[in-house]
Structure 1
Amino acid sequence: MGEKILEVKNLKKHFSVGNGQILQAVDDVSFSINKGETFGLVGESGCGKSTIGRTIMGLYDKTAGDVIFAGENVHELKEKNKFSFHRKMQMIFQDPYASLNPRSTVREVISEPMEIHKIFKNKREQLEQVYELLEEVGLSRDHINRYPHEFSGGQRQRIGIARALALDPEFIIADEPISALDVSVQAQVVNLLKRLQAEKGLTFLFIAHDLAMVRQFSDRIGVMYLGNMVELTSSDQLYDNALHPYTQALLSAIPIPDPDIEESRERIILKGDLPSPINPPSGCVFRTRCPMAMDICAIEKPKWQEVEPSHFVACHLYRESSSEKESPIKLTIS
């Protein structure tokens, strides 16, 4: 599997929302990312995937658990070590306009991290690096003195990518970097990220809700639901043999560009609304919408277990009994 660059162990992130209520945004999530791979994190809005990214980055303090990056606990770093940590890990944000200072030129946006970390001894070397980064992300050096509002959404996201690359990081958290872009531009940005990964040996945590796009970019995929990880395996295995009922429902919603197949296939329609993370269901958090729910689902939280080689799932359909593991049950998607 290669060398682990990031380990997330039993991570919890809860927010106080007043009146003694606690919003359980992330609840006991564990996974690891290997050096040079792309780990996709998917799920519907509000499932906690962006909160995981921000907690890994250190933008949010953890409630419990550990985030280990390159052998160091991110949330226990001393002030002097945080400087070098942020050189190794950078983030691409979802909204390319909100994440760029509207009063700064492209040159100022990209060069600011270099100045903070004192990368170059003089302005000339720094300017040459800005030119190089712009060209790497498909922009021209003629753009250097323009402001964010003068660019399209795709161009602004390219500027955000250039800024993330300014410190030559090892690991990049891409928090839904294509969700605000047109479909044609989405493919361009994903191809750009894949090219940069191949050229620079980058490792990505790719957060998104578009399963079709995640498949093209990710080596392994983790599926989130209401703050919990429900399934994790390789990209091909997830699409060919999804085990969790929630994952199967998500995959059945992906449109197929063939009218005959699209018209004849059966979709899994989840009934009910997404429960509140302030008051999540007992036992399995998915049980209130699961077409395969059993009595035990309301009583006991399913264990996170490896049911096939490198294929992890949290579901009572695959629970281990005292004598033998029960046979997996798979919903049919025709």
Structure 2
Amino acid sequence: MNEEKTLQVRNLKKHFNLGKDRILKAVDGLNFDIYKGETFGLVGESGCGKSTAGRTIMNLYKRTDGQVLFNDKDVHHLSDEENFKLKRQMQMIFQDPYASLNPRSTVADIISEPMIIHKLYKTEKERMARVYELLEEVGLNRDHANRYPHEFSGGQRQRIGIARALALDPDLIIADEPISALDVSVQAQVVNLLERLQEDKGLTYLFIAHDLSMVQHISDRIGVMYLGHMVELTSSEQLYDKPLHPYTQALLSAIPIPDPDVEDSREQVIIEGEIPSPIDPPSGCVFRTRCPLAMEACAEVKPVWQEVEKDHFVACHLYNDDIEDKTPIKGQPNLITN
């Protein structure tokens, strides 16, 4: 792995003030690095804060606390000129290809707009040549340039969004659930496109998703989020071969396996209850109210983010040697064998 860090996230927090002394803690202390040329997957259930994290990293949301370093520069402490230049180096692919494109603009206008804002080309002819080139790169063609978004399928619209993100030749692309609104067959096409573009251009990705099977396919390393916190982080292979956190184990056990014999015999971890409100999160470990292995210490002490094995980080009292009594307060783990 390239040891050059493109992105460094340190204790990142994003809280929303809802009034009447209510604070929604959408992101509450994230720590991770993304290395140049890799794909870092960020996963978790809907509402865990992963999209908010992506937007805060992009500086679309002002952080509440913490630090985001992009190429060793703090993205939240830049001059207007530096922030303008940053937008060229960091781009975002949005979740909804239907809502992220201006319905009144042609494809050529959508893709060329960033070029005009950043004054990349002197003439319209040069810009259009680049538009045609980008359309070819994402699997479309120049005939699509004068059409409007409503004339395309969901997969084609997302390809247009990818072309727009590539228009400024960025170093880092934050892909915020770029395939969740697409059909399964189209999802694979878009993921394959992103992988090819990464190989051709040396791109670095932060890939945000809730589909762990697809994240495994595209990611080098994966971070698992729950209720604004990172609970586990390691390589894609290690996470799927040896998940440590009970939440990660539950998420992975829910992925269907296309082998009836394996599917029928494997153990499944069932998570009970609803996700707590980020306005009033549980004390100690935020996952304890749903965890089948929760112990008394989980309600009293916040788990320490620690490296349990080489490059395998987890926040869970099960791996804290200072905790002597690890008896689950609910009795035996809630494991169901089919």
TM-score using structure 1 length: 0.96
SS state at 2:96 partner: coil
Q: Which residue of 2 aligns with 1:203?
A: 204
Letter in 1 for 2:149: P
Q: For 1:75, what is the secondary structure of its paired residue?
A: coil
Structure-to-structure mapping, 1:33-112, within 5 angstroms: 33-112=34-113
1:159 is matched with which residue? 160
Bigger mean CA deviation after superposition, 282-291 or 255-264: 255-264
Q: Residue 149 of structure 2 corresponds to which residue in structure 1?
A: 148
Paired residue for 2:171? 170
Shift of residue 72, structure 1, vs aligned partner: 0.5
Amino acid at match of 1:195: R
Counterpart of 1:288?
Answer: 289
Does structure 1 retain, via aligned residues, the 8 Å contact 2:270–2:336? no
Q: CA deviation at 1:332?
A: 7.8
The equivalent of 2:4 in structure 1 is 3
Aligned position for 2:225: 224
Shift of 1:97: 1.2
Please say if residues 270 and 334 of structure 2, whose CA atoms lie closer than 8 Å, have aligned partners that are also in contact: no
State the match for 1:238 in structure 2. Answer: 239
**3-state SS, counterpart of residue 178 of structure 2:** coil
* SS of equivalent residue, structure 1 residue 172: strand
2: CA distance, partners of 1:307 / 1:114: 46
1:136-191 deviations in whole A, cap 9, x for unaligned? 00001101111111100000000000000000000000000000000000000000
Q: Does 1:297 align with 2:295?
A: no
The separation in 1 between residues aligned to 2:19 and 2:270, in whole angstroms, is 34
Amino acid at match of 2:20: N
Q: CA deviation at 1:18?
A: 2.2
- Tell me by how many angstroms 1:39 deviates: 0.2
Structure 1: distance between partners of 2:316 and 2:260: 34
1:42 Cα deviation from its structure 2 partner = 0.2
- One-letter identity of the residue aligned with 1:85: L
- Structure 1 letter corresponding to 2:271: L
- 8 Å CA contact 2:173–2:204 kept in 1: the answer is yes
The aligned residue for residue 191 of structure 2 is 190
Q: How many percent identity over aligned positions?
A: 72
Residues in 1 aligned to 2:176 and 2:314: alpha-carbon distance in whole angstroms: 24
The alpha carbon displacement at 1:331 in A equals 9.5
**1:268 offset after TM fit, Å?**
1.1
Q: Does 1:20 align with 2:21?
A: yes
Whether 1:179 aligns to 2:180 is yes
Deviation at 1:267? 1.4
Q: Secondary structure at the match of 2:76?
A: helix
The residue type paired with residue 253 of structure 2 is S
Does the 8 A contact of 2:171 with 2:204 survive in 1? yes
Deviation at 1:235, TM superposition (A): 0.2
For residues 234-273 of structure 1, what are the alpha-carbon distances to aligned partners after superposition, in whole Å with 9 as ceiling and x for unaligned?
A: 0000000000000000000000011222223231111111
* Contact residue 292 and residue 334 of structure 2 kept, 8 A: no
Q: Report how far residue 320 of structure 1 moved.
A: 3.2
Gaps in structure 1 of 5+ consecutive residues: none
Query: Paired residue for 2:330?
Result: none
For 2:58, the aligned partner's letter is M
Q: Is the 8 A contact 1:220 1:233 kept in 2?
A: yes
**How big is each residue's C-alpha offset from its partner over 1:190-231, in whole Å with a ceiling of 9 and x where there is no partner?**
000000000000000000000000000000000000000000
Q: Per-residue CA shift, 1:13-50, capped at 9, x if unaligned?
A: 00011222000000011000000000000000000000
Residues 110-145 of structure 1 show CA distances to partners (whole Å, capped at 9, x for unaligned) of: 000000000001111100000000000000110111
Residue equivalent to 2:277: 276
CA distance in structure 1 between the aligned counterparts of 2:303 and 2:94, rounded to whole angstroms: 33
Structure 2: distance between partners of 1:177 and 1:44: 16
Does the 8 Å contact 2:269/2:335 carry over to 1? no
Other structure's SS at 2:27 match: strand
Is the deviation greater in 264-273 or in 190-199?
264-273
Matched-pair contact (CA < 8 Å) for 1:265–1:333: no
Q: Hey, what's the Cα distance between the residues in 2 that align with 1:134 and 1:332?
A: 49
Matched residue type, 2:170: P
Instruction: Write out per-residue CA displacement over residues 268-324 of structure 1, whole angstroms, 9 at most, x where no aligned residue.
Output: 1111110000000000000000010000000000000000000000000001329x9
Task: Give the paired residue count.
Answer: 329
Task: Provide the C-alpha distance between the structure 2 equivalents of 1:298 and 1:321, rounded to a whole number of angstroms.
Answer: 15
Are 1:154 and 1:189, in contact at CA under 8 Å, matched by a contact in 2?
Answer: yes
CA distance in 2 between partners of 1:37 and 1:43 (Å): 20
CA distance in 2, matches of 1:36, 1:331: 40
Q: Distance in 1 between matches of 2:52 and 2:272?
A: 26
State the one-letter code of the partner of 1:270.
Answer: I
Query: Is the CA contact (8 Å cut-off) linking 2:268 and 2:335 kept in structure 1?
Result: no
* RMSD, matched Cα: 1.5
Secondary structure of the 2:156 match is helix
Q: 1:41–1:222: 8 Å Cα contact kept in structure 2?
A: yes
